[in-house]
Structure 1
Amino acid sequence: MTPTEDALAAWWEGLGWSPFPFQREVWAAMQRGESGLLHATTGAGKTYAVWLGALLALADQVRATGKAAPPLTVLWITPMRALAADTQRALEAPLLALRDGTTPLARWTLGLRTGDSSSAERSAQNKRLPTTLVTTPESLSLMLARADVAEVLGTVRLVVVDEWHELLGNKRGVQVQLALARLQVLARGAWPMTWALSATLGNLDEAMATLLGPGRPGRLVRAQLPKALQIDTLLPPTAERFAWAGHLGLRMLPQVLAELDGSPASLVFTNTRSQAELWYQALLDARPDWAGQIALHHGSLARETREWVEAGLKAGQLKAVVCTSSLDLGVDFLPVARVLQIGSPKGVARLLQRAGRSGHAPGRPSRITLVPTHSLELIEGAAARAAVAAGHIESRRTPHQPLDVLVQHLVTVALGGGFEPDALYAEVRRTAAYAALSPEAWQWCLDFVTRGGPSLAAYPEYRRVAADDTGRWRVPDAAVARRHRMNIGTIVSDASMTVEFVGGARLGQVEESFIARMKPGDRFLFAGRLLELVRVHQMSALVKRAPAGRATVPRWNGGRMPLSTTLADAMVQQFAEADAGRYDSPELPFARPLLAVQQAWSRLPAPGTLLAEVLKTREGWHLFLYPFAGRQVHLGLANLLAWRAAELSPGTFSMAFNDYGFELLSATERDWAQQLPVLLDTEADVLAQVMASLNASELAQRRFREIARVAGLITQGYPGERRSNRQLQASSALFYEVFRKYDPANPLLQQAEQELLANELDIERLQAALRRMHARDLVLQAPKRPTPLAFPLMVERFRERLSNEPLAERIARMVQQLEAAATKSTGDAAPEAAAPAVQQGLAFSQDRDTGEPGKRRRPRRPSRPLPLL
C-alpha cells in the first residue's frame, strides 16, 4: 500500500468504519480512471465513496510544487448552496486528519464558491483556486468566462456532480453538460474523470449517458445496501367525507406538536415557502416555550439565517426546523430522527429524498410521516407507501436543445479565451442535450450572438461576439462582457426585493409582485416574524416589527408541483383495493367514510376504467372526469375537451381542475354519453387543438421572458441597480413582438412554444393521458349531488367566481347539506367538527396557480363581490 492508502485506511478505521462493497467498487474504478454514476440510498456513504476514491486515485499523481498547494484538481458540483456548504465540511474531515502527515494530501486545499461566497473569498480564489473546489453550475459557468480559463481549469482531473437527479431534467443540467464538454477541451485530451451521485432515479442508464455524453463509456454502481424506511401517515381526529384542497392542514397542528415533542430533532417539510412561514408561526404560537428551539429555513432567507439554522441542526441544538426543498438535498443532519411532510409529496422520488434526511447514516432507519391536509391525501399516503415498496420511482430526462442556454454558453466561451466555430460545434454535440443539433441551428446561434439575428442587426449592443484577426471569436466590448458575467445562469424568477429592517439587518428576499400589492402600514409574515412595511426604496422593502394582528403571507412563483404519474397510478390502485373490500393499509380504513359515500353515490376509480360523473344543478350541467394525470395535464385536457365540445355545438364552459380530475360546467344541456367518445378522439391533431383552445400566444410570451433573460436579450441589471419585474416584462414583450413581426422563424419563439407545451402543459403526458382515457372503459355515472371526488373541483371553481357572500360560508353550508345526505344514504353519522374545519381552512386562502397561501380575507359587505381567491 502507498503512504496515502495507509493514511486513509487508518483514518477510516479510526472512526470505527469498514468499507461497503459498493465503496470498494467505486475506489477501484476511479483508480483505473473510469467515470460513472453511483446510485445509493441517502446516508449510505456516497460522498466518501467518491471522495476517498478521488484521493486514492489522484493524491500520488497530483503533487504540490514548491510552497504552493497542488492546483485545482477536483471540481465538486452541487445544485444548492446549503448542500455545497455541507459538502465542504464533509470533504474537509479526512484532509484535516491528514494535514500534519507526510502524504501528498497534507498540502491539498479545499474551498467553496457559490452565490453565498463573500467578496473576500472570491478575490482570494481569483488569485489562486484551491485543490478541490465545491461549487454550483452557475459559479462554474462564471469561471468558464475567465480570460485565463485554460490555466485555471485546465488542471482539473475529476468532476463530481452531486444529486444528479436534481439537475438532470432542467436547464441547469444542460448548463452542466456544456461545462463538462468545455472542461474536456481545456484538459487537452486528458479528459477528467466524471462521476455523478444520486439516490432517487428511475432511469439510471439514461442518466449516466446524459452525464458522460453520447458514446462515452461509464460504470454504473448500484449500492445493494438495505435501508430501513418507515413511511406512515399522521391520522386526523376525523376524516372529512367532503374534502377539498385549500386549507393548509392546520387542523393537524395538535398532532404535529405531539410528534415533534416526542422526537429529539425533526424536519417539517412543506411544498412552498409561504406554507413554511405559516406553519412556523403556528408552531411558535402554540408552543412559545420552544422559541429558540424551532427554526425556519427556505431559499429566500438571508444567508446568515440559513447558516445559523444549518449549524444548529448539526449541533443538535434545534428541536424542529420548518423548511422547503432548500434542505431536501443531501445535507447531513445526523441528529434528525424523523421527517414530517405537510401535504402530498406529489412524487415518489421527492418522498424518498426527504425521508432520507432522517437517519442519515449507514444502518440507521429513516422515517417520514405524511401529514394530510385533506382526506384524499390519506389515500395518497397509502399509495406512496405501495409505490415505494414496488420500487416505482419517476424518471428524469434532459431538455432537448434549449437554444437560449446554448447562446449564453457561446458568449461565456467567447469571454473565456474565445473559440473557433467548427471546433466548438463538435464540442457542443458531445453533450446529450445537443447531440442532434443541426448545422442550421448552430449557424443561427452564431448569427444571433454576432449581430442579434436579422431583426436586431441594426443595433450595436447585440453584436456581442466578433472574430478577431486570428479568426478566433471573442467578446470585444467590455460593457457586454461585464453585463454577461452579471447575468450568467439559467434560474429565472420574478424580480426580487430585499427585505430589511429600517437601518438594520437584511432578512432575505420576496418577489417584487408581492410587495407591489402592498402599501406602507400593511403587515406580512416573513422570516418567522410579523413585519410592517414602512416604505419601498429602489429594490428594497424597508420594514419594522409589527404588533400582533392580521397579516398576509408572501407568495413565490414556482410552487406548482403536479402529482406524478407514478404516484397517481398508485393512488388509483388504492381505490381499486377499497372497491374490492381490501382495507389493508392504515390509511384506507380511516378514509372509509369518504370512500363509502363515493361508492354509494357513484363509483370508485379503477385501473382500466375512466370514471365520468354528470350532474344537474341550478348552475347548469356538470361533467366531472377523473383521469388522475396531475393538475397541469388536467388544465390542458379541460380546455381541449371544452374546445372540442364547442366545435360540436356552440356553447360556453366554466372549468376547474386539480390533481385528480377536472370539471366542465355548461349553461345548456349536453348529451355527454354521446359526446364523450367523440371528445376523447386521439386521431385529431391534439397539439394544434390544445394551442387553439388556450390563449397560447399570451402563455408563450410569458415563457419567452425567461428565454430572453437566459439568452442575454434582457438583463436583470447590476447589484444596486436591479430592474423591476415590470421593466423586464416590458422589454421581453417588445422583443417578442419584434420577432413575431420581423423574424417569425426565430428559433427562440419556437422554443417558447415548445417549453410552454413541455413544461406548463406537459404535452407528452397530456397526449398519453388522452390515449389512456380513450382506451379505457368509460363509466358514466349520474349522481344526484356532488360526490366526494367532485366536491373539491366545485370548490376550485368557486374561487374563480365573483360572489356576493363570503366563500367560507357557502362552502360550510354545502358541506352541511352533503353531510346530511351522506348520513341518510349510508347510515353513518357525519364526522365531528366538519363545519369548523371548513371555517378554519378558509382562514388563509390558497393561490389557485401556485398552491401557495394568499391574502387573509376579511368578511365583505353583501353589496360588494368577493374578489378572486
Structure 2
Amino acid sequence: MTSARGLQSWFAARGWKPFDFQRRVWQAIADGRSGMLHATTGAGKTYAVWMGALLALAGRTPSTRRKDAAAPLTVLWITPMRALASDTLRALQEPLAELAPQWTAASRSGDTSSGERSAQDRRLPSALVTTPESLSLLLARADARDRLGRVQLVVVDEWHELMGNKRGVQVQLALARLRQWQPALMTWGMSATLGNLNDAMRTLLGHADGVLVQGETPKTLLIDTLLPPRAERFPWGGHLGLTMLAQVVGEIESSGSTLVFTNTRSQAEIWYAALIEARPDWAGLVALHHGSLDRSVRDWVELALKEGRVKAVVCTSSLDLGVDFLPVERVLQIGSAKGVARLLQRAGRSGHAPGRPSRITLVPTHSLEIAEGAAARTAIAAGHIEARESPTQPLDVLVQHLVTVALGGGFEPEALYQEVRSTAAYADLSRQAWQWCLDFVRQGGPSLAAYPDYHRVVPDEHGIWRVPDARLARRHRANIGTIVSDASISVQYLSGGRIGSVEESFVARLKPGDCFLFGGRLLELVRIHDMTALVRRAQGKRPAVPRWGGGRMALTSTLGDAMLEQLALAAQGCWESPEMQSLRPLLELQQKWSALPTTQRLLAETLRTREGWHLFVYPFAGRPVHLGLANLLAWRMAQHAPNTFSLAFNDYGFELLCAQEVDWAVLLPRALDPEPPGAHQSEEQALLGEVLASLNASELTRRRFREIARVSGLIFQSYPGERRSSRQLQASSSLFYEVFRKYDAGNLLLDQAQGELLAQELEVGRLAQSLRRMRGMQLNLVTLERPTPFSFPLMVELFREQLSNERLADRIARMVAQLERDAGGASQAMDAGAVKATLAFGADAANSNR
C-alpha cells in the first residue's frame, strides 16, 4: 500500500524533494477532484499526477505480489505521440516495485506488438499508456464497458497538442463515454505551453469545476540566435539555411548532446545528410528521427539519446513532446519555430530536469527570421503564449464515434445525445444535426440508402443501435482515427530490412533507377511491389528528397505581433539585442528606401517594373492569412476596375502584381474598407461570401471534403487485407462530393468541408481580425524606385512559379548585385552558380517559407 511516508522515502532516496505544486496535485486527487496542471517542461508534472494516483488509488487494492491478483485497469494515460508513450511508460514503471507492487503498467499504441496486444486482450494492466486512436479501438470492442468501466483516473498528457484539433475532439468523446460508466471518474490534463488555461481545462473536463494548478519552479530559459557573419540585405526564402552549416557543426561540437529540430521531415533528411557529409567521423554519433522511420530505428535513437551515446539528433516534432532526455544540453531550431508555444516546447527538450537551464538557439534560414529571437524573448517575458481552441461540432468525428460506440456494446440515441452534448465540442449540437448523423450511419443519408455498405448502424428489436455486419465492423476498426495523410508506401531493402515509409504521391513520381534520400541514406528505387518500394544503397547520384504532407507551419499572431514590436523599436533607433544589431544594415536600408511596418503603421509599397505594377503589403499575420488577404483584396479591386492579378505571399506579407497600370493609392484603401454589407447581411457573412468568391473555393472545398470523407467512413484507406492508393481515395471522395452536391444538397458534411476550409486553411477568423486591425492602422503607402529588403523575397516567391531553377538563379544573382550597387555597399551577393546550388539542394528554401 502506497503511503505518504513511503513516497517521501522514495523521493529522498533519489535526492529529490517534492515541489509545492506536486503536493497540491496529490491532495486534489486524494479529494477526488479533476483538474489541469500547467508547469514548465522538466519540472516534474508526470510524478505530480502519477504519485497522486498511487497515493489515492493503489491503496484500494490488497497488497500482494501474486500475478493473478494484480490490480485491474485503474489509470488511463493518454499521450499524443507513440514516442512519448514509451517514454512515459518507463517513468510510470520506475516506482511501482517499491510503492505499488500489485500494480502493473503497459502501453498500447500503433507500435505495440501483436504479442503484447494478445497479452493485454487477456488482461489489461493497472495503468495503460495509450493514444487517442488506440483508446477509440478499445471503445469499439464488444466488451468495452467490462474492460474500461472501472477506470478511476484519466490523464491527458500534452493537452495543448490535442486540444486544438480533431484528435482532441476524439478524446473529449471518449472521456464522455467513460464518465457514463464511471460518474466519479477523475480527469487531469498536463501542459507546459498553453495561453488559455481556464478554457483548456473546461474543454477537457466538460465543466468549469476543476482544480487549476500552476507549477512555479525556478527554470532558466536561454533563447539566442546563431547569427550569420553578415545578414544579407536582400534575402530570399530559405537561402541562408545550409550556408549556416559550418556554424551549426561548430555549435554541435562544442556541446555534449544536441537536438537539431527542423519543421519538416524533408528538412531533417537534408540536414542530417549535410552534417554527415561535413563530418564523416560523426557517423554513428549523429542520428536522424522522424515519424516515417521504422519503429526499431526510432527506438534505437531514443535509447541512445537517453544513454548519452549520440552527440546530436536531427529531428522533427516526433521528439517535440515530453520525452525525458536528460543528457541533452541544448536545442538548435533550424528556421523559424513559427510560434512562441512551439519554441518553448522545443526549448524544454534540453535541461529536462528541475533546476537545469533550457537553451534553444535559432538558426535562421532567412534574414528576417533573425528578428524572431528577440521577438520571442519579449513575448515570453510578457507571458504571451498562443491560445488553443477546440474545433466546434466536427460531424465527421461524431459519425465515426457513433459507429465506434455501436460496436462497443451499442447505444440508445437519446442517452448518447445527452452524453455527446456534455463535451465542449458538441455542447450546442442541435436535434436536427444529431438526427442527421443518426440517419447517416443508418443508411448513408438519402443519396446512399440503396447501398448496403452504408447501412452501418441499425437499431435492434430493443431499440439499441448496433453494427450487425462483421465485415463492416472490421473495416471500421481498421480505419479508426482522425489523422489524415496520403497513403504511404513501405520502403524496404531488397535483402529484407525495413527502413520506414514515404507518401505514395512521392514514390509515384519515381521510376526504377531514380535515387532518393531517406533515413539518412542514398537509396535507389529498384521496383514497387504490393505497396512496398524495394530499394538498394546507391552512391554518387543526385537525390530527390521525399515530401510529406502536413509539414507546413504558419507564423502565429503572437509571434508576428512581437516581431512588429521589434521593428517599431528599430524605427525609433533602438538596437539593443544582438539579433537586431545584426539586422541593422538591412532595416536601415529598408527605412532609407521605404519605411518599417509597426504595430501602429501598415506599410504598403508600390513599384513599377518590366513585369508590371506591384503592390507589397506587410501585415506579419502568417502565410494562410496572407493567402486569403491577397485573394480578397485582388477580388475587391477587380470589382471596381476589372483586372488580372498575380499573387505571392510569405509569413510577413503579400504581393499583388498587375500587367496593366493600377492606381494603388485609390484602390488599396477602397479594398481595405469596402461598402458596408446589405441590411440582411452581417459584416462577417459578407466577408465569408467574398472570401469564397475570391478563391477557387469549389476545388479547395473538394480537397477538404476528401479528409472528412475518410474520417466519417465514406471512404477507407485500409481494408482488412487491402490498401487503397491515394489516387483511388481521391477519385472516390470526388465522386461522393459530386453526388452529395447534386442530389443531397443538405448533406452536413459538405457544410463542414466549407467551414473547415474557411476556419483552418484560410483562417478566416484571423483574416477578419487582421482586416479590422489594418483598417485601424495608419496606412503608409510608399512609391519605390527599386525593390526593398522586404519586397525582394516576395518577388522571388512570384518568380519561382514562373521560372526554371536555372533562370531563377540567374535572375536572383543579377537583381541582388544591382541592388547592392544601388545601396552603395560592396556586393557580397551569391553568384548564379551558388544560387543554383542552393536551389538544387533547395528543399531547404521551400520548406520554411513556401
Fold conserved (TM > 0.5)?
Answer: yes
Q: TM-score, normalised on structure 1?
A: 0.95
- What is the correspondence of 1:653-664 to structure 2 with a 5 Å cutoff? 653-664=645-656
* Separation (CA, whole Å) in 1 of partners of 2:406 and 2:269: 43
* Separation (CA, whole Å) in 1 of partners of 2:266 and 2:445: 42
Partner of 1:707: 708
State whether structure 2 residue 203 is matched by structure 1 residue 201.
no
Aligned-partner SS, 2:222 = strand
Whether the 8 Å CA contact 2:349–2:358 is kept in 1: the answer is: yes
State whether structure 2 residue 548 is matched by structure 1 residue 556.
yes
Partner of 2:151: 156
Cα offset for 1:748? 0.1
Cα offset for 1:26? 0.4
1:845 pairs, out of 842, 846, 849, with: 842
Cα offset for 1:677? 1.2
Deviations 1:619-653 (A, max 9, x none): 11000011111000000111111111111111111
* Separation (CA, whole Å) in 1 of partners of 2:333 and 2:833: 24
Aligned-partner SS, 1:60 = helix
Whether the 8 Å CA contact 1:816–1:835 is kept in 2: the answer is: no
- What is the correspondence of 1:82-97 to structure 2 with a 5 Å cutoff? 82-97=83-98
- What is the correspondence of 1:109-508 to structure 2 with a 5 Å cutoff? 109-187=104-182, 189=183, 191-214=184-207, 216-247=208-239, 249-508=241-500
Partner of 1:35: 34
Whether the 8 Å CA contact 2:237–2:848 is kept in 1: the answer is: no
Whether the 8 Å CA contact 1:812–1:839 is kept in 2: the answer is: no
Deviations 1:554-583 (A, max 9, x none): 011111111000000010111111111110
Whether the 8 Å CA contact 2:234–2:789 is kept in 1: the answer is: yes
* Separation (CA, whole Å) in 2 of partners of 1:616 and 1:691: 30
Aligned-partner SS, 2:563 = helix
Q: Structure 2 vs 1, CA of residues 847 and 702 (structure 1 numbering), >3 Å: closer, same or farther?
A: farther
Partner of 2:24: 25
* Separation (CA, whole Å) in 1 of partners of 2:549 and 2:205: 33
Partner of 1:53: 52
Counterpart code for 2:454: Y
Cα offset for 1:819? 0.8
Aligned-partner SS, 1:243 = coil
* Separation (CA, whole Å) in 2 of partners of 1:154 and 1:53: 21
Deviations 1:120-150 (A, max 9, x none): 1111111110000000000000000010111
Cα offset for 1:830? 3.5
Counterpart code for 2:91: A
Q: Structure 2 vs 1, CA of residues 797 and 832 (structure 1 numbering), >3 Å: closer, same or farther?
A: closer
Q: Structure 2 vs 1, CA of residues 836 and 380 (structure 1 numbering), >3 Å: closer, same or farther?
A: farther
Cα offset for 1:681? 1.9
Partner of 2:683: none
Segment of structure 1 superposing worse, 431-440 or 844-853 = 844-853
The alignment covers a number of residue pairs equal to: 839
Cα offset for 1:471? 1.2
Whether the 8 Å CA contact 1:41–1:223 is kept in 2: the answer is: yes
Counterpart code for 2:840: A
* Separation (CA, whole Å) in 1 of partners of 2:755 and 2:823: 46
Cα offset for 1:370? 0.3
Deviations 1:580-620 (A, max 9, x none): 11100011111111111101100011111110000001111
Counterpart code for 2:230: T
- Residue segments in structure 1 that go unaligned for 5+ positions in a row: 99-104, 854-869
Whether the 8 Å CA contact 1:275–1:852 is kept in 2: the answer is: no
Partner of 2:826: 829
Whether the 8 Å CA contact 2:813–2:829 is kept in 1: the answer is: no
2:590 pairs, out of 571, 593, 598, with: 598
* Separation (CA, whole Å) in 2 of partners of 1:165 and 1:25: 21
Counterpart code for 1:800: E
Whether the 8 Å CA contact 1:145–1:412 is kept in 2: the answer is: yes
* RMSD over aligned Cα atoms: 1.5
Whether the 8 Å CA contact 1:251–1:837 is kept in 2: the answer is: no
Whether the 8 Å CA contact 1:633–1:766 is kept in 2: the answer is: yes
Partner of 2:730: 729
Whether the 8 Å CA contact 1:248–1:841 is kept in 2: the answer is: no
Whether the 8 Å CA contact 1:64–1:70 is kept in 2: the answer is: no
Whether the 8 Å CA contact 1:247–1:844 is kept in 2: the answer is: no
Deviations 1:446-475 (A, max 9, x none): 000001111111111100001112111110
* Separation (CA, whole Å) in 2 of partners of 1:676 and 1:532: 52
Counterpart code for 1:648: H
Partner of 2:681: none
Whether the 8 Å CA contact 2:395–2:752 is kept in 1: the answer is: yes
Partner of 1:533: 525
Whether the 8 Å CA contact 1:248–1:275 is kept in 2: the answer is: no
Counterpart code for 2:214: R
Partner of 1:865: none
Deviations 1:689-737 (A, max 9, x none): 1101111010000000110000000001236521000000000000000
Whether the 8 Å CA contact 1:464–1:480 is kept in 2: the answer is: yes
* Separation (CA, whole Å) in 1 of partners of 2:9 and 2:436: 57
Aligned-partner SS, 1:160 = strand
* Separation (CA, whole Å) in 2 of partners of 1:500 and 1:175: 33
* Separation (CA, whole Å) in 2 of partners of 1:63 and 1:765: 55
Q: Structure 2 vs 1, CA of residues 25 and 625 (structure 1 numbering), >3 Å: closer, same or farther?
A: same
* Separation (CA, whole Å) in 2 of partners of 1:304 and 1:193: 35
State whether structure 2 residue 775 is matched by structure 1 residue 770.
no
Counterpart code for 2:809: A
Deviations 1:205-242 (A, max 9, x none): 0000000003x510000112121000000011111000
Deviations 1:9-28 (A, max 9, x none): 21111001001110010001
Aligned-partner SS, 2:95 = helix
State whether structure 2 residue 575 is matched by structure 1 residue 574.
no
Cα offset for 1:175? 0.2
Whether the 8 Å CA contact 2:459–2:465 is kept in 1: the answer is: yes
State whether structure 2 residue 515 is matched by structure 1 residue 523.
yes
Cα offset for 1:851? 4.5
Whether the 8 Å CA contact 2:332–2:360 is kept in 1: the answer is: yes
Deviations 1:740-771 (A, max 9, x none): 00001100000000000011100000011111
Q: TM-score, normalised on structure 2?
A: 0.97
Cα offset for 1:792? 0.3
* Separation (CA, whole Å) in 1 of partners of 2:298 and 2:805: 44
* Separation (CA, whole Å) in 2 of partners of 1:809 and 1:716: 44
Cα offset for 1:806? 2.3
Deviations 1:23-53 (A, max 9, x none): 0100011100000000000000000000000
Counterpart code for 1:284: I
* Separation (CA, whole Å) in 2 of partners of 1:121 and 1:12: 31
Whether the 8 Å CA contact 1:846–1:852 is kept in 2: the answer is: no
Aligned-partner SS, 1:591 = helix
Aligned-partner SS, 1:806 = helix
Q: Structure 2 vs 1, CA of residues 207 and 804 (structure 1 numbering), >3 Å: closer, same or farther?
A: closer
* Separation (CA, whole Å) in 2 of partners of 1:802 and 1:843: 14
* Separation (CA, whole Å) in 2 of partners of 1:53 and 1:494: 42
- Residue segments in structure 2 that go unaligned for 5+ positions in a row: 678-685
* Separation (CA, whole Å) in 1 of partners of 2:521 and 2:239: 21
* Separation (CA, whole Å) in 2 of partners of 1:389 and 1:516: 48
Q: Identity of aligned pairs, percent?
A: 68
Whether the 8 Å CA contact 1:620–1:665 is kept in 2: the answer is: yes
* Separation (CA, whole Å) in 1 of partners of 2:11 and 2:828: 57
Aligned-partner SS, 1:217 = coil
Partner of 1:860: none
Cα offset for 1:387? 1.0
Partner of 1:106: 101
